[in-house]
Structure 1
Amino acid sequence: MKLVKSVVSAATLAAIATVATAGSAAAISFNITNGINNPFTNASNQGAYSDFAGRKGVTTVDFNSGFDSGATSVDIKGQDGSKFMTYNFSNGAATSSGKTGVYSDKWAPAGANGEVNTSKYLAVFKGNTVTMTFQKTMNYFGIDWGAISGGNIFSFFRNGSLVNSFSTADVNPVAPVRASQHGGEGNGYLHFYSTSASDIFDEIRITQLGGGGFESDNHSFQEGTGAFNAKDVPEPTVTLGLMAMGGAFLLKRNRKQTA
């Protein structure tokens, strides 16, 4: 499978939960679905993919090649062969479990119906942040998020300034998929999207605070200079319950993953 697939999309995502950092006009919305099987091969053992993968303007990174041990940065090319984005590892990428890097193990985010994911995925642990930088502004970001631990943090930036930040302790109370390989912990495909030109972004930072890891797979992105179009959308599996805490947003936590 190729690392990057730039694909065609007319349909988009409906606003389910809109959240904004306190004191900011920016608001990045999100919802959660089961996701879908690999839309290019229909494989079910490679984690869940975005409901928008395979549609116009959506670029997907599956982590199955191109991320070598020790790499501090990995450039991703778009379909036209030009540079689309870069993954930056603050302390280098590992290829073995329990460290920030890209590899395959039992904690790989599950498939759309809880299937075991035998492909490679991105893991982030404390002390080694992963930063995604883009050549253009984005208005959509999706991830297959599995076996989620407390301390997982997303931060969205534009021109070096924070647009919004989200912290998810655990999605077990609302996750649509229960994966037996993760001891019944929740999995799901999360869709983050801009609601106006004020919250488009050109950088995402993934950070893990404390124990446990931040496991994700099959990242999808769409370029945009304004709100992500919200028509012809898939129905969300659940609506996420939120608690505002000091400008960050935490999902209720029931269980902590062990790495």
Structure 2
Amino acid sequence: MAKKVKKRKEIKRKLLHKYRLVILNESTFEEKISFKLSRLNVFVTGSLCTIGLIALTTLLIAFTPLREYIPGYSSTKLKKQATDLTYKTDSLVASLHNTNRYLESIRMVLRGDVASQEVNLDSLRERFKIDPSSIDLTPIKEDSLLRAEVALEDKYNLFERNATGAEIELFPPLSGEISNAYDPEKQHYAVDVTAPKDTPIKAVANGTVIFSEWTADTGYVIILEHKDGLISVYKHNGSLNKRQGEVVRAGEVIASVGNTGEFTTGPHLHFELWSNGNAVNPLDYIDF
């Protein structure tokens, strides 16, 4: 028992034993600063400084933007940005997929390698047929003058007369002789119409230009998209008057007859008509 008490007193004495920390001038040995220290004071002071440093670091991490510079710590703002980018990426992927499908269908039309499928021609005729009973055919003076002027200038330069109606009328892109008829068995999904070079080619109906470029096989090609899934294709043109994205009206000049492309034998128009992805015979709807 006496030894334990003696040992405790010895530990207490060592902890409370006073030391002096002196800072001297190296040249003159003049005492500049001195501190009275003990082991207990040093231990307590060091512990408090450590606790204070830990508390300050915790506050900086929890309540200041400095935490974002700590490796492995994720920022809320960065998480939100990453989530937004993920949504945008998904949208872009879906849009790119749809665009690729659309372009592939256009390529198939240009190559003419879409297999002809059975088409209900009667329903297609009904779709593009105008009901005379729904149109007021009583001409006014101004209308009569306009009709006479148009008839003199261009027989087929007619615009849609029923602007509010749902039906459209197909007009001949040009007048000429049929040199090669529509023949699905030979994968010729078009009619070839011969005409003098530079003869104007007109739109068969109101629509939008979805393709207007040069191709090696069929020369200058222009494709129009009309309502109700109807697409008209004009190949081997000598020149193109419209660009992709432009809106055209029925009877408006969009190109001229030419002899361009590898697969051509003379000035002519290679004209195709597609309904909802299926090739149809243009002679069933247009009188060339």
Max Rg structure: 2
TM-score, normalized by length of structure 1?
Answer: 0.30
Higher helix share: 2
Higher RCO (CA < 8 A, seq sep 6+): 1
TM-score, normalized by length of structure 2?
Answer: 0.28
Higher strand share: 1
